[in-house]
Amino acid sequence: AQKVTQAQTEISVVEKEDVTLDCVYETRDTTYYLFWYKQPPSGELVFLIRRNSFDEQNEISGRYSWNFQKSTSSFNFTITASQVVDSAVYFCALSEYSWGKLQFGAGTQVVVTP
Amino acid sequence: GAGVSQSPRYKVAKRGQDVALRCDPISGHVSLFWYQQALGQGPEFLTYFQNEAQLDKSGLPSDRFFAERPEGSVSTLKIQRTQQEDSAVYLCASSPLEWWENPQETQYFGPGTRLLVL
């Protein structure tokens, strides 16, 4: 069963618009970790952010922010004032304490046009 | 410092050929992972090494897939008698600590090897 669902296949925006990527996860563990990775056309997965299940505080880091809500099992990610360099595939991933493997969603392609 | 490197970056193989994919993790990293990424999908776990010990190979799709990390650093993923369904990007990742005890640790990924089986 898919444990991480990214319902948006592709999002296209014009530069400077905000982009919000949805991620819904499923786990029975009380301790787990959530990640966002970016995969540009070069292919290398780049770590962006990590959140643990005990910390629901939402934060902003530069143009990135995230909204973690355990009540809805969601871990959404927002890019503010998007730039062309943000064009990439973004993956949400889950690491469960009991299972110890990083499980990825199918990814969301973000296309930012000038 | 140097990141995770993989070679070759691209590999074209004829069906039935054996291939070997190499991963050089970040120096000193204890944990090493292999993933398979099909076109348009997220990476899928294949196998995990803690130093030279292969602790989990539950994701390997068949006995044609074999991975090793004999000295606890460089790792090789070998695919015997390649099939067309093996065509994918193979990603390697490393992490500084033992993954089982530290599932919160970030994994650092290499650029991948794109394998095309004709």
Per-residue pLDDT tens over the stretch B33-88: 999 999 989 999 999 999 999 999 999 999 999 999 999 999 999 999 999 999 99
| Contact criterion met (CB below 8 Å) for B92 and B75 | yes
Cα gap A2→A73, rounded to integer Å = 14
Task: State residue B82's pLDDT score.
Answer: 97
Task: State residue B43's pLDDT score.
Answer: 95
Residue keyed to tokens 């949805």: A22
Measure A45 CA to nearest chain B CA, in Å: 6
Measure B108 CA to nearest chain A CA, in Å: 7
Residues in chain B: 118
pLDDT tens digits for B81-108? 999 999 999 999 999 988 777 777 888 9
Task: State residue B25's pLDDT score.
Answer: 97
State yes or no: pLDDT of B1 exceeds 60.
Answer: no
| Contact criterion met (CB below 8 Å) for B26 and B95 | no
| Contact criterion met (CB below 8 Å) for B45 and A103 | yes
CA atoms within 13 A on the CB side of B63: 0
Query: Chain A interface, mutation test: which of B5, B29, B34, B37, most A Cβ atoms within 10 Å?
Result: B37
How large is the greatest C-alpha to C-alpha distance in chain A, in angstroms?
44
Interface touch A91/B44, C-beta < 8 Å: no
Give the CA-trace dihedral at A30, A32, A34, A39, to 10 degrees: -150
Question: What is the pairing mode between strands A10-14 and A108-113?
Answer: parallel
Task: State residue A55's pLDDT score.
Answer: 80
All residue ranges of chain A with pLDDT < 50 are none
Among partner residues B40, B99, B109, which is closest to A44 by beta-carbon distance? B109
Chain Cα centroid distance, residue B14: 20
Cα gap B84→B58, rounded to integer Å = 21
Give the B-side interface with A, CB within 8 Å.
3, 33, 40-45, 48, 56, 59, 89, 91, 93, 99-100, 103-104, 106-112, 114
Task: State residue A100's pLDDT score.
Answer: 67
Cα gap A113→A87, rounded to integer Å = 8
How large is the greatest C-alpha to C-alpha distance in chain B, in angstroms?
41
| Residues A70-90 as b or e (16 or more Cβ within 10 Å = b) | eeebbbbbbbeebeeebbbbb
Interface touch A45/B41, C-beta < 8 Å: no
Mean pLDDT, range B9-14, rounded to an integer: 96
